[in-house]
Amino acid sequence: RVAHLYSSSPHGLEDGEREPGQCKKRWHRINDDVNKFCAAYSASERQLRSGESDTDLLKKAHEIFFADQAKKFTFEHAWCTLRFEQKWLSLNAPKAGGGEKRKNVETTTQASTTDGVVDVDPRPEGIKAAKARRNGG
């Protein structure tokens, strides 16, 4: 289906028909590099300083990609199209919560009721306790 779509496009008319295996191989290469560039772009977003433009951000992403992969990113045209697709939206979305690493977790294990009596849920039996009980020890 992809090979047929490509051969009916203006690029396909110029290049000639491609076999399905050729399209699959090309897609895997594009997909791999776009995923790696998304990681570089995300890293450049985390390093964003005040006053930097989108162009600066993209330039920094290219530098990070080159430093990691030892080659230039040549699929920017594909990345511009794919970055807003479902698969890549989560990769490009800025992380909520800023630089906070810890989650706010409630530390108490007690739950209070409306009449003021506190109920404590018993902890489940652990592996060592279950073995000791089973072995009579």
Q: What confidence score (pLDDT) does residue 44 get?
A: 92
Q: pLDDT, tens digit, for every residue of 7-34?
A: 777 766 666 777 888 888 988 999 999 9
What burial letters (b/e) apply to 105-130, b meaning 16+ CB within 10 Å?
eeeeeeeeeeeeeeeeeeeeeeeeee
Q: What is the per-residue pLDDT for 95?
A: 53
22's CB contacts (< 8 A; 6+ apart) are 3
For the chain, what are the domain ranges?
Answer: 2-92
In tens, the pLDDT along 56-110 reads: 999 999 999 999 999 999 999 999 988 888 887 766 555 555 555 555 554 444 4
Strand partners, 116: none
Give the chain's mean pLDDT.
78
